[in-house]
Chain A
Amino acid sequence: MENRVVSAKELKAAKAKLQQGVVLSMRGISKSFPGTKALNDVDFTLRKGEIHALMGENGAGKSTLIKVLTGVYPKDEGQIFVDGVEGEAHIHSPQDAQNLGISTVYQEINLCPNLTVAENMFIGRTKNIRVHWRENEKKATEILNSLGIPAQANQELSRCSLAVQQMVAIARAVDMQCKVLILDEPTSSLDEKEVQMLFGLMRDLKNRGVGIIFVTHFLEQVYEVSDRITVLRNGELVGEFPISDLPQVELVARMMGKDLNDLADLEEIGQKKTAGEKVIYNAEKLSSAESKPFDFQIHEGEVNGFTGLLGSGRSESVRAIFGADRVTGGKVEVNGKKVNIAKPHDAMKAGIGYLPEDRKRDGIIADLSVRENIILALQVMKGFFHPMSRKEAESFADEYIKALKIKTASQDTPVGSLSGGNQQKVILARWLLNHPNYLILDEPTRGIDVGTKLEIQKLVLKLAAEENMSITFISSEIEEMLRTCSRLIVMRDRNIVGELTGDDLNQSSVMKTIAGGGQ
């Protein structure tokens, strides 16, 4: 709170002004969360009547920037200027943002499914106490017709398709005279026809002078509708580019970051080991409620990786391997024997471990102690009726706290109070203690400090080399994957689109494959 007051004073002195044709200007935006700096001195400019793509990988800061702009998070530093507002705009709540003409349409649609289309467009906007149904429906119908949205005003929203629901949200924003329209991953649950419908609407709005911020992970779509691209990485601004100046491959390179000088070189973390002959895990046509059928195998002592942009299906695939989502089909063999993995416990019995992507939601048991978190998986494997003794548990916990250099006040400290990196090490310890034959690490390095990132990569290579463990390693940072994996499976749109080994394991071929030029 104090921070904001101070910086506001400083920035007032800077007295930036909006240029002609600019509807929104964000200058020097910074935002920290405990343990991480989500945004560091980021600038963003949106012009009248343009579609501006905001790109970046996991943790790049896209959603934080949007949330700062819409008043969900208070910013630590920086200033926001909006067309039509004298001086700095103060946005403290979603309401403030709306009043300034900034509207957001989220992927998970923020409308009420139990109300009608018309109501969703008008609720919460008037001071009128009486609700005029007929009038609202008439007005809504006019707007829907003028925008070409195939919905009926008196229809319950939940009866519309997702695309139409999204368009209704946009119609609401348009009717509120918005100058800035933020579309956060609007296309991720739409099919091709619906996407085209949405793009038609976006172009229409663009011609009416609305500035649109388009957040998506579908590269083709960016090139289809956008005029300009701003790229973020690790909370920092990489740059703003007109669409014609930034070929697709280069965009991927910018998003993933080519030069990571702050990390040590390949030699320093050890040599990659060549995989053994024995197939540890083999799946044919494996599919789950969240992933499409795919084939996959991994050899003893092999480190491989799934790569692809956010939403490409890399996490869903490994979740299917572990049985984390409902498995819908496929044949699975572990060590040459056919097994049925329907739930995580089956996978654990087959010697598979899984460190989930979302540490907070799926990994840690926040209120339990470090010790209980470390022994959890082994304890479950031992069974309900065979609890380990306190002494045993303490010695296991001690061993792994030392081995992984986990910084904690004691074994009894609730794991939720540790830093992100140490929490991640605790979950890693949990699975290592279980001595799996095959360990899946989904984004083990996300949101943690550089030093710990390096430690985890070293550990991955060591486990493969010394304990012959097979490991699947997923990371948004391609450098990390190139350094650790001997085989990369590339995914796009939930399909495996390539498999890279040997000499193909380099930046440019990975990016080409991801961007779609490698076929």
Chain B
Amino acid sequence: MTVKAPEINARRHQPMSNTKLLMLIAIGIFVVMYAAAMLLIGKRFLNLQEIFNLLNNNAYLIILGCALTIVMIGGGIDISVGGVVCLTAMSVAKFLQTSGIEGVPGVLLSMLLALGIGLLFGLEQGFLVSYLGIQPFIVTLAGMFLSRGITTMISSENVPIKHEAFLEMKKVAIQIPGVFKLEIGAAFALIILLLMYLLLRHHKLGRSIYALGGNQQSALMLGINVKRSRFLSYVISSVLAALAGYVFIMHASSGKTSIGLRSEMDAIASAIIGGTLLTGGVGNVFGTFFGVMILSTIQEIMAASKVQESYWQEIASGAMLALFILMQSVVLSRRGKKFVLPSWMKMSKRQ
């Protein structure tokens, strides 16, 4: 009575998965954007270095994007990252200026400080969200205000860094003079990007986060430690935010209370544009990377086309975000209809 199944090859060509499809759309949009920039603004964008400038200037945003991608794949959200960036940058600046520890030890300790801040925030937020079951938005909103509040307690003034070893490190760059120059922060961001890709793709935790975002109940039934996975996703997010803060201070070398204002929104927007679904389970850090590049290209275009006021950038990215959120909502409802046929349709086949 067994129905013969057709012979199956292990890796036959597959129709594209949602993750890849949404990422390809993002890449396409980036290419179009960049081409538009070349046409509209010309010269500058024809230069290879322009792409590296995008990387150098937005290194911290790439890391934040990774953080948000991971949390959002797990079906959560973290809006405290901007605050954590600011707190880390300010703390590092203050530490380097006031501790009096010179040379490499000072720099190493400042890195440890950054990690510590990220870890503390991550542990707190992860615990509240995962083990106490509190809405992530509320928890991380509180985290955002907590980190910004503490920042102003540390200093409400600008704290420029004059630590020599730190300034030395900041100057390190990968470059062929005249062709391209990649700052150390941007290189670090790209390494993080790769690591997060590996984590999500080839590590048990990463796959657990996907499973949890795809269907929490199922993930539980499949024997995944749902609470721990979710907890860790928030810890990773905050630690990455702290690292982003460090990368930011390496780029800017001055602590300010305005650092990272609304960067959480940019990070969320990048993730969404890059194909991460708000409902979780689908997403890819490379997509997010292109999301960041798209947003920063828009900014460049705006800046170059003599729109001085920054408000146009915000409105443009807001409109972009709205568009993508709506697109996802439509895609999702379509997808739902495709795979869960109304039962009467199936019954008719039986007759």
Contact = CB atoms under 8 A, between A and B. Distances in A.
Chain B associates with chain A: yes
Interface of A: 94-95, 98, 104, 109-115, 119-120, 123-126, 128-131, 133, 137-138, 141, 144-145, 148-156, 158-159, 189-193, 196-197, 199-201, 203-204, 287, 289-292, 493-494
A148 B5 contact: yes
Given A111-B218, A203-B2, A129 B203 contact: yes
Given A125-B223, A137-B11, A152-B12, A290 B3 contact: no
Contact of A115 (B5, B214, B342, B348): B214
Interface of B: 1-12, 14-15, 17-19, 201-208, 210-211, 213-215, 217-224, 281-282, 335, 339, 342-344, 346-350
User: What 4 A-B pairs are tightest by C-beta distance, nearest first?
Assistant: A124-B223, A112-B214, A114-B214, A200-B2
A186 B190 CA distance: 47
Contacts of B12: 152
Contacts of A189: 343, 346
A152 B347 contact: no
B257 to A, nearest CB: 40
Contacts of B339: 113, 158
Contacts, number: 141
9 contacts: A110-B217, A111-B218, A114-B18, A114-B281, A114-B282, A131-B201, A156-B17, A191-B349, A197-B3
B222 A123 contact: yes
Q: At the interface, is chain A mostly helix, strand, loop or mixed? A: loop
A29 to B, nearest CB: 22
A254 to B, nearest CB: 27
A131 B204 contact: yes
A170 to B, nearest CB: 14
Nearest to A112: B214
A494 B207 contact: no
Contacts of A150: 5-6, 8
| Highest count of chain A CB atoms <10 Å: which of B18, B214, B335 | B214
Given A190-B346, A289-B342, 5 more contacts: A124-B222, A124-B224, A145-B7, A152-B9, A191-B350
Given A154-B11, A192-B350, A112 B5 contact: no
Contacts of B202: 130-131, 133
A196 B8 contact: no
A109 B215 CA distance: 10
A137 B307 CA distance: 53
A110 B220 CA distance: 9
Contacts of A113: 214-215, 281, 339
Contacts of A111: 215, 218, 222
Contact of B222 (A112, A158, A203, A290): A112
A196 B4 CA distance: 11
A226 to B, nearest CB: 14
Contacts of A128: 204
Nearest to A109: B218
Contacts of B346: 189-191
Contact of A130 (B10, B203, B223): B203
A128 B347 CA distance: 43
A113 B280 CA distance: 12
Contacts of A196: 1, 3
Contacts of B1: 196, 199-200, 203
A95 B221 CA distance: 8
Nearest to A311: B343
A158 B343 contact: no
Contacts of A199: 1
Contacts of A95: 223
Given A110-B217, A148-B4, A291-B344, A115 B207 contact: yes
B282 A130 contact: no
B347 A493 contact: yes
A123 B207 contact: yes
B347 A292 contact: yes
Nearest to B206: A131
A290 B335 CA distance: 19
A395 to B, nearest CB: 41
Nearest to A99: B223
B318 to A, nearest CB: 28
A161 B218 CA distance: 18
A141 B17 contact: no
A192 B3 CA distance: 12
Contacts of B217: 110
B2 A148 contact: yes
Contacts of B344: 287, 289-292, 494
Contact of B224 (A123, A193, A203): A123
B14 A290 contact: no
Contact of B204 (A110, A130, A141): A130
B324 to A, nearest CB: 19
Contacts of A104: 221
B207 A131 contact: yes
A14 to B, nearest CB: 32
A433 to B, nearest CB: 34
A412 B265 CA distance: 45
Given A150-B8, A290-B344, A112 B203 contact: no
A133 B204 CA distance: 11
Contacts of B335: 158
Contacts of A145: 5, 7-8
Contacts of A115: 207, 210-211, 214
Contact of B2 (A119, A192, A204, A292): A204
A19 to B, nearest CB: 30
Contacts of B349: 191-192
Nearest to A120: B222
Q: Choose among A112, A120, A125, A151 the residue with the greatest number of B CB atoms under 10 Å from its CB.
A: A112
Nearest to B6: A150
A98 B221 CA distance: 9
A149 B7 CA distance: 10
B6 A112 contact: no
Nearest to B225: A124
